[in-house]
Amino acid sequence: MSTEGLAAAQQKMTDAGVPQTAIDVFSHYYAQLEDGTTGSIPEETIEPYLDPPKLDDVTIDPFAAKEVFDKLAIINLNGGLGTSMGMDRAKSLLPVRDGKSFLEIIVEQVLAARRATGARLPLVFMNSFRTREDTLEVLSRYPDLPVGDLPLDFLQNKEPKLRADDLTPVEHPADPDLEWCPPGHGDIYTALQTSGLLQQLLDAGFRYASVSNSDNLGTVPNPVIAAWFAGTGAPYAAELCRRTAADRKGGHLAVRKSDGRLILRDTAQTPEDQMHFFTDEHRHPFFHTNNLWFDLEQVAAILAERDGVMGLPLIRNEKTVDPADKTSTKVYQIESAMGAAIEVFDGATAIVVDRSRFLPVKATSDLLLVRSDAYELDERMALVQQVETVPGVSLDAEHYKLVGDFEERFAEGVPSLREAASLTVEGDHRFGAGVVATGDARVTADDPAEIPAGTVIGG
Ligand code: UPG
CATH number where 297 lies = 3.90.550.10
Range of the domain at 435: 364-457
Give the separation between CA 142 and CA 121, rounded to whole angstroms: 15
* Residue identifier of the C-alpha nearest atom 33 of ligand 1: 251
Q: Judge if 148 and 246 occupy the same domain.
A: yes
**What digits encode the pLDDT tens for the residues 79-96?**
998 888 989 899 999 999
Q: Judge if 283 and 368 occupy the same domain.
A: no
Q: Which of 125, 290, 358 to mutate to test the pocket of ligand 1 (most atoms within 8 A of CB)?
A: 290
Which residues line the pocket of ligand 1, CB cutoff 6 A? Answer: 77-80, 126, 128, 156, 182, 184-185, 187, 213-215, 249-251, 264, 266, 287-290, 337, 339, 360
- The torsion angles phi and psi of 356, rounded to 5 degrees, stand at -60, -15
Query: How many other CB atoms sit within 10 Å of the CB of residue 163?
Result: 17
54 is in an annotated binding site: no
CA of 185 from ligand 1 middle (Å) equals 6
pLDDT at 244: 85
The predicted model scores a pTM of 0.96
91 is in an annotated binding site: yes
Give the separation between CA 162 and CA 171, rounded to whole angstroms: 9
pLDDT at 385: 96
pLDDT at 311: 92
Count of residues in the chain: 459
- Name the nearest CA neighbour of 45 among 270, 243, 266, 239: 270
Q: Judge if 393 and 342 occupy the same domain.
A: no
Q: Judge if 336 and 393 occupy the same domain.
A: no
pLDDT at 458: 87
Instruction: Please give the number of the atom of ligand 1 that sits closest to the Cα of 335.
Output: 8
pLDDT at 93: 96
**What digits encode the pLDDT tens for the residues 175-230?**
999 999 999 999 999 999 999 999 999 999 999 999 999 999 999 999 999 999 99
Q: Which of 327, 357, 387 is the last residue of a domain?
A: 357
pLDDT at 3: 77
Q: Tally the domains of the chain.
A: 2
CA of 438 from ligand 1 middle (Å) equals 33
Instruction: Please give the number of the atom of ligand 1 that sits closest to the Cα of 81.
Output: 11
Q: Judge if 160 and 257 occupy the same domain.
A: yes
Q: Judge if 116 and 52 occupy the same domain.
A: yes
Q: Judge if 185 and 66 occupy the same domain.
A: yes
Q: Which of 357, 377, 397 is the last residue of a domain?
A: 357
432 is in an annotated binding site: no
pLDDT at 38: 85
Q: Judge if 324 and 384 occupy the same domain.
A: no
322 is in an annotated binding site: no
Instruction: Find the Cα–Cα–Cα–Cα dihedral 109, 110, 115, 119, rounded to 10°.
Output: 150
pLDDT at 88: 84
Q: Which residues of the chain have pLDDT under 70?
A: 1-2, 459
Q: Judge if 383 and 337 occupy the same domain.
A: no
Q: Is the ipTM of this complex over 0.95?
A: yes
CA of 213 from ligand 1 middle (Å) equals 6
Q: Judge if 116 and 232 occupy the same domain.
A: yes
pLDDT at 459: 66
Rg over alpha carbons for the chain, rounded to the nearest Å, is 22
362 is in an annotated binding site: yes
Q: Judge if 264 and 378 occupy the same domain.
A: no
Answer whether 374's CB lies under 8 Å from 384's CB: no
Q: Which of 77, 158, 267 to mutate to test the pocket of ligand 1 (most atoms within 8 A of CB)?
A: 77
Q: Judge if 129 and 247 occupy the same domain.
A: yes
Q: Which of 321, 341, 357 is the last residue of a domain?
A: 357
